[in-house]
Structures are given as structure tokens and as C-alpha cells.
């Protein structure tokens, strides 16, 4: 039997050949590159995935918290935020940053009917791994809300980052995170505007919530600065002069993750960064990340990322 197609005669054999060709084209169509750490960042409230969103600004029905350093840019108007009881007004055309692990809520909008809001969600552990930020780290971890200066970031750069993120290409997304780190380093050098001071910097206004955060920030800083050394709960508690059980309970309450899991997470972040550098052996990567053995390193790495360190390095080089 002969089939007709678009005015032409087509035999079953030709029809099959066309269908096979179409299938091959579909198979070869480019797809977004999946992030190897997608499931890793998705586990638990302590850490979220990296992401960038653009949307009309909205009033939030209730406060929420999540595992990121969050950035907000409003293209027009103003919005009122509450941060665990503190209130701050965010204006337009400046990038605002805060630790989203502190309950926060947009409660009012002003002259923002035609505005767009761009949000960046940087995983908190990735932020803590960024070097040479000094007081900036303590300000954000201590509950401060800061506004970066125009010389640090512009809307054009944010739009480019958004396009890179939406491309689905993991290397472009990694490049964005590198540029965010550079932006933060510039802010650490040139300064920033404070919209809401950190609890750590307030004098004479300590509350019940201030104390645990103050202790936890010191513990986090000690962990990050000594990640290659053995880090027991007792050693970390000693830094803040608290009983180990009390200190670890405070840490878990504030960070939504245990001290030991946090230490492992930070070591994995360090290892992933060293792997991408490519100049170290796997054994040296494990050692310089603070793991006591390659066996322990491989076990944690595979569980976190779904592949071995060598596989991730190979995929990155070939990608």
C-alpha cells in the first residue's frame, strides 16, 4: 500500500526512514546539563540549591526561613521586610543581602505595581567557603541586612547571571557563583550600607535569641577556618566556653543540622572546589579537605554527589 504525504507518494519503507531520522534528531537535541550536587543541596532545611528567580514582588503570608544567603533586587518602588522582629525597608536599584536562615517576610509594597524582583539564592555552605570576606561573614551570619554599593553590582550583571542560570548549563551556573564570590570580596574591601545591624554588633540589646546565634557564629567561623584539622564536638564547644552537649544543641537549633554533619558538608564543599582546580591528586584533595582517609572521603563524596571524585573531575574536564 502506498501512503500519500503532502501531495507526494510515500512508501512504507520511506515512511519508516523518515520516522527514524526524526527520532535521531530528537535524541541529539541538546538538554540542560544536570548539576551533580542537585540532590545534595536539596536535603534538609540547612542548605538549599543555588537558584535565581525573577518575578513580580509579592507580600508573603507568613515568615519563612531556608538555607541560603539571599539577595533581593527591586527594579522600582519599595518593600517592607521583617527579620525575626526587626523591620527594614528595601528600595529599588540596589542589591540587598541577608541570611535567609533567619525568619523573614515581605509585609508591604510601595509604588511597586510595575516592578520586577530578582532574587539570588546562594547556598549558605558555599558562602561560608568563600575566602577573605572578614567582617562581612559575621555581619550576615549575625542577622545583619546589608545593601551593596553600585560599584559592586548592576542590573545588567544580574540579568546576565539570570540568563546563565536559566541556560541549564552547569558550567555557566558555576561561573555565576564564582562572580558572586568576586562581588562579595569587592564589598568586603570597599564596604556596604547597613540596613539592619547584626545582633553581634548591637550593644545593650541582647535577647534570648541573640546569645545562641552569637555562639553559633563563633563555632561556624572556627570550623571554616580550621576545616583541615580534626574537629570534635568537644573542641568546637571549647571555642565558645560551653558544655559540649549544650553547644551542639544550640548549633543544631540555629543551623538545622548537627555539628558533625556541618563539618562533613564544609569538607565536601572544599573537596569539590579542589577537584575543579585539577592540579591535586585525589589523595591530596581528601587530605587538604580534612578527611582522615580516602575510604572515608569516597564514602561521603559518593553519598553527597552520586559519583566518585574522579568521575566528577572527568565530567567537569570533558564538559
- The average pLDDT across 3-7 equals 37
Return the CATH number of 38-196, one of 3.30.450.60, 2.60.120.280, 2.115.10.20, 3.40.50.2300: 2.60.120.280
Summary mean pLDDT of the chain? 81
Whether residue 294 has pLDDT greater than 60: yes
CATH classification code of 205-318? 1.10.10.60
Q: pLDDT digit string (tens) for 215-273? A: 887 898 888 888 889 999 999 999 999 999 999 999 988 787 889 988 998 898 888 87
Domain ranges of the chain: 38-196, 205-318
The pLDDT of 178-185, averaged and rounded, is 96
The more confident residue out of 110 and 274 is 110
Provide the 10 A C-beta neighbour count for residue 237: 21
Q: For residues 292 and 277, which has the higher predicted lDDT (pLDDT)?
A: 292
Q: What angle is formed at CA 49 by the lines to CA 43 and CA 54, rounded to 5 degrees?
A: 145
pLDDT digits (tens, 9 = 90+) for 94-141: 999 998 877 789 999 999 999 999 999 998 878 887 877 888 987 888
Amino acid at each position: 500500500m502506498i501512503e500519500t504525504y503532502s501531495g507526494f507518494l510515500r512508501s512504507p519503507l520511506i515512511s519508516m526512514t523518515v520516522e527514524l531520522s526524526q527520532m535521531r534528531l530528537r535524541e541529539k537535541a541538546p538538554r540542560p546539563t544536570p548539576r551533580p550536587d542537585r540532590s545534595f543541596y536539596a536535603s534538609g532545611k540547612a542548605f538549599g540549591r543555588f537558584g535565581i528567580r525573577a518575578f513580580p514582588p509579592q507580600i508573603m503570608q507568613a515568615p519563612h526561613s531556608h538555607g541560603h544567603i539571599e539577595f533581593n533586587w527591586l527594579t522600582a518602588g519599595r518593600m517592607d521586610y521583617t527579620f525575626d522582629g526587626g523591620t527594614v525597608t528595601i528600595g529599588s536599584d540596589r542589591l540587598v543581602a541577608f541570611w535567609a536562615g533567619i525568619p523573614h517576610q515581605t509585609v508591604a509594597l510601595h509604588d511597586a505595581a510595575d516592578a520586577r524582583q530578582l532574587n539570588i539564592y546562594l547556598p549558605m555552605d558555599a558562602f561560608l567557603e568563600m575566602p577573605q570576606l572578614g567582617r562581612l561573614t559575621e555581619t550576615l551570619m549575625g542577622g545583619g541586612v546589608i545593601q551593596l554599593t553600585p560599584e559592586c553590582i548592576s542590573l545588567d550583571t544580574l540579568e546576565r547571571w539570570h540568563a546563565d542560570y536559566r541556560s541549564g548549563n552547569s558550567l555557566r551556573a558555576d561561573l555565576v557563583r564564582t562572580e558572586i564570590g568576586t562581588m562579595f570580596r569587592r564589598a568586603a574591601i570597599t564596604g556596604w550600607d547597613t540596613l539592619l545591624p547584626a545582633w553581634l554588633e548591637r550593644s545593650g540589646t541582647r535577647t534570648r535569641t541573640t546569645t545562641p546565634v552569637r555562639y553559633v557564629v563563633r563555632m561556624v567561623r572556627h570550623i571554616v577556618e580550621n576545616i583541615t584539622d580534626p574537629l570534635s564536638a568537644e573542641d568546637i564547644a571549647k571555642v565558645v566556653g560551653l558544655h559540649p552537649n549544650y553547644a551542639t544543641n544550640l548549633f543544631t537549633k540555629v543551623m538545622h543540622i548537627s555539628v558533625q554533619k556541618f563539618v562533613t558538608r564544609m569538607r565536601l564543599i572544599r573537596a569539590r572546589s579542589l577537584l575543579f582546580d585539577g592540579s591535586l591528586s585525589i589523595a591530596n584533595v581528601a587530605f587538604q579537605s580534612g578527611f582522615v582517609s580516602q575510604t572515608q572521603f569516597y564514602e561521603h563524596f559518593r553519598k553527597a554527589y552520586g559519583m566518585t571524585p574522579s568521575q566528577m573531575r572527568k565530567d567537569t574536564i570533558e564538559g
